Amino acid sequence: MRKDQFSALSCTNLFKGIQDDEMDKLIETAPPTIRTFHKDAVMSFQGDEYNELMIILAGELSAEILNPNGKKIIIETLNKSSAVATGVLFAEDNTLPVTLKVVKEVEIALFTKKTVLKFCQMNERFLLNYMQDMGDKVIFLAEKIRLFRFKSINQKVAGYLLNLSIKQGADSVRMTYSLEHLADLFGIARPSLSRVLSEFYDQAILKKEGRIMHILDKQELEYMLEGE
Amino acid sequence: MRKDQFSALSCTNLFKGIQDDEMDKLIETAPPTIRTFHKDAVMSFQGDEYNELMIILAGELSAEILNPNGKKIIIETLNKSSAVATGVLFAEDNTLPVTLKVVKEVEIALFTKKTVLKFCQMNERFLLNYMQDMGDKVIFLAEKIRLFRFKSINQKVAGYLLNLSIKQGADSVRMTYSLEHLADLFGIARPSLSRVLSEFYDQAILKKEGRIMHILDKQELEYMLEGE
């Protein structure tokens, strides 16, 4: 395995906190298959079985959904050091819900399910990382569903922040998601989210300092949710 | 541990396929804490940290959400041999998204996160079961989100079955979820789902034989999704 491949691998969530010599040990035990795909190639189709964990070493993929009525929707873009569909790999129904298409020539590492299980048993940190990756995904999707009931972007932001404030027991909350992740959580475009946040800053409803969001006017946020 | 407690434990998803002597070995290594809660007791509040895996040995719990605007919604009922919030336990944000309240006096077994990790490393089947439980949850939530775009129950049923038909590559599909799970997936009440399914059977759009659903009139289902 080339040095840049090793380094891309070590930057994924799954190998977080694992020293190079420990990683060497894991990879020597069961080296991944490395494959390259050219631009516009379809790596796998929606409905294909997913039996080997895919980690992107270089390049870019898009995950697309084809609706039963034939419409194509791009769900997300996957970049270097992303582990693809960690949950699907172990689900009883392990068919990919998306079509994976190459945006920029990609190089990927493939680990069999058996290898992933072996890594989990060999290295407690890898096990914890894998569990956390799936746990985070569950939390993200559950929160996305909870926020569906709010119609406007204002309400989504208010509903999210008030809930965070309840959970963290404070009016100044630590933001766990990036702006990009938040937009995904709300099911909206990133510029639309930025616009609403700017308005809230201007109206002194919110104030952001680094990762901390101060809720200055809680009543105004609660007012937005009335009738919901 | 009493025999009925042991048996309730062995019936959870997480201990599926594990022989009694292997279970004995696991439980002797790190026995759970057993606790009893009376009717109407609140076992934990929405926002509480979740650090010990809860498995229900007897009785019934409800999982409720309190909205920022003060409305209470019952999300699900949890019964004997359910493992509670397997994903939250390992998420970075490991706070419970629900309040757990006792419906019928419950007895629960509590396993620390460390114990769960130990079981995963000691027993490959337990590891696989835990991974599958979380993977299934991810798939369920992702499908629930996909189905949100369909407004009517007819459309939800059509969208779900056509997708299953694409995935399984056949017009007769194997149903993986129970009626109760399906209603939860569609976010509707079970009687409403039964009513729509009955209509579809009467109109010879669908025909059910055991776990197999025959799609007799695919065009009619596709027609329901037009414009979506």
Tell me: the pLDDT tens digits for B135-185? 999 999 988 888 888 889 999 999 999 988 988 889 999 998 888 889 989
A171 interface with B at CB cutoff 8 Å: no
Question: Do the Cβ atoms of A212 and A174 come closer than 8 Å?
Answer: yes
Count of CA atoms in the C-beta half-sphere (13 A) of B171: 10
Instruction: Residue window 122-141, chain B: list those with CB within 8 Å of chain A.
Output: 124, 127-128, 130-132, 134-139, 141
CB A56 within 8 A of CB A108: yes
Across the interface, do A137 and B138 touch by the CB < 8 Å criterion? Answer: yes
* CA distance to partner chain A, nearest, from residue B67 (Å): 8
Its pTM stands at 0.89
Residue B228: predicted pLDDT:
60
pLDDT number for residue B19: 95
Rounded Cα gap, residues B221 and B215, in angstroms: 9
- In order of their start, the domains of chain B are 3-147 (2.60.120.10), 153-227 (1.10.10.10)
Q: How far apart are CA A29 and CA A39, in angstroms?
A: 32
- Whether A143 has its CB under 8 Å from any CB of chain B: the answer is yes
Q: Which amino acid is it at B179? A: L
Distances (CA, A) of A31 to A26, A109, A112, A208: 8, 9, 10, 45
* CA distance to A69, A98, B223, per residue, from B227 (Å): 9, 22, 9
Is B127 in contact with B121 (CB distance < 8 Å)?
yes
Phi–psi pair at B43, nearest 5 degrees = -80, -40
Amino acid at A132: Q
Residue of A nearest to B143 (CA): A97
Q: In a structure prediction context, what are the per-residue pLDDT tens digits for chain A, which is 228 residues long?
A: 899 999 999 999 999 999 999 999 999 999 999 999 999 999 998 889 999 999 999 999 999 887 666 677 777 889 999 999 999 999 999 998 889 999 999 999 999 999 999 999 999 999 999 999 999 999 999 888 888 888 899 999 999 999 889 888 899 999 988 888 899 899 888 899 999 999 999 999 999 999 999 999 999 999 998 866
**What is the per-residue pLDDT across B171-221, written as a single tens digit (0 to 9) for each?**
999 998 888 889 989 988 889 999 999 999 999 999 999 999 999 999 999
Residue A227's pLDDT is: 63
Whole-angstrom distance, CA of residue B116 vs CA of residue B26: 10
Q: Give the Å distances, CA to CA, from B173 to A98, B110, B169, B205, B221.
A: 19, 39, 8, 14, 14
Query: Do residue A91 and residue B128 have CB atoms under 8 angstroms apart?
Result: no
Concatenate the DSSP letters of all residues of chain B into one string.
Answer: --HHHHHHHHTSGGGTT--HHHHHHHHHHSPPEEEEE-TT-EEE-TT-B--EEEEEEEEEEEEEEE-TTS-EEEEEEEETTPEE-TTGGGSSS-B-SSEEEEEEEEEEEEEEHHHHHHHHHH-HHHHHHHHHHHHHHHHHHHHHHHHTT--SHHHHHHHHHHHHHHHHTSSEEE--S-HHHHHHHHTS-HHHHHHHHHHHHHTTSEEEETTEEEES-HHHHHHHTTT-
pLDDT band at B227 (very low <50, low <70, confident <90, very high): low
Which residues on B lie below 8 Å from A223 (Cβ)? none
Pair of tokens at residue B23: 């279970």
Are the C-beta atoms of residues B73 and B67 closer than 8 Å to each other?
A: yes
Instruction: Please report the pLDDT score of residue A68 as a whole number.
Output: 63
Residues of B in contact with A127 (CB under 8 A): 117, 120-121, 127
Distance separating alpha carbons of residues A67 and A75, to the nearest angstrom: 12
* Structure-token pair, residue A12: 């994924």
**Distance (Å, whole) CA B147 – CA B158:** 10
Would you state the pLDDT for residue A49? 92
Residue pairs spanning A and B at CB distance below 8 A: 158
pLDDT tens digits, B1-56: 899 999 999 999 999 999 999 999 999 999 999 999 999 999 998 889 999 999 99
Q: Does B13 touch chain A (CB under 8 A)?
A: no
List, as one string, the DSSP characters of chain A. Answer: --HHHHHHHHTSGGGTT--HHHHHHHHHHSPPEEEEE-TT-EEE-TT-B--EEEEEEEEEEEEEEE-TTS-EEEEEEEETTPEE-TTGGGSSS-B-SSEEEEEEEEEEEEEEHHHHHHHHHH-HHHHHHHHHHHHHHHHHHHHHHHHTT--SHHHHHHHHHHHHHHHHTSSEEE--S-HHHHHHHHTS-HHHHHHHHHHHHHTTSEEEETTEEEES-HHHHHHHTTT-
